[in-house]
Amino acid sequence: MSDKNALDVPSELIDLQRASNAEFLKVRAFSEHGPALGWSDELHAEWKAWRVAAEAVYEAVCNHPAAAEMGRYTLEMVVKAAARATTPATSHELAA
């Protein structure tokens, strides 16, 4: 894999990852407000939305032609890094 291939991440994959990141932050916000909230219907709905978004990213990465060239894991990591780099407000939160 050349550096040029790593930079040519399809925008649709980055957009899917950004959506997944946003859903993750919603779930994480519930966790940060303490376990006293419990497993509410609202938390379950947020968790399910995150899971659906994460599954969409995984499926898109697995089915993308670049996955065959550079490997699924490598493509997934490149997509995640590109999504973090283009969303500076959440990048520090997702790195934790």
Predicted TM-score (pTM) of the model is: 0.75
User: pLDDT tier at 2 (50, 70, 90 boundaries)?
Assistant: very low
pLDDT digits (tens, 9 = 90+) for 5-58: 445 778 999 999 999 999 999 988 877 765 556 677 888 888 999 999 999 999
> What is the pLDDT, as a whole number, of residue 29?
84
Q: Give the span between the Cα atoms of 81 and 78, in whole angstroms.
A: 5
> What is the pLDDT, as a whole number, of residue 4?
42
Domain segments of the chain as ranges: 14-95
Sign of CA dihedral 26, 19, 95, 70: positive
Question: Mean pLDDT lowest for which of 2-6, 21-25, 59-63?
Answer: 2-6
Instruction: DSSP for 1-69, please give it.
Output: --HHHHH---HHHHHHHHHHHHHHHHHHHHHHT-GGG-S-HHHHHHHHHHHHHHHHHHHHHHHSHHHHH
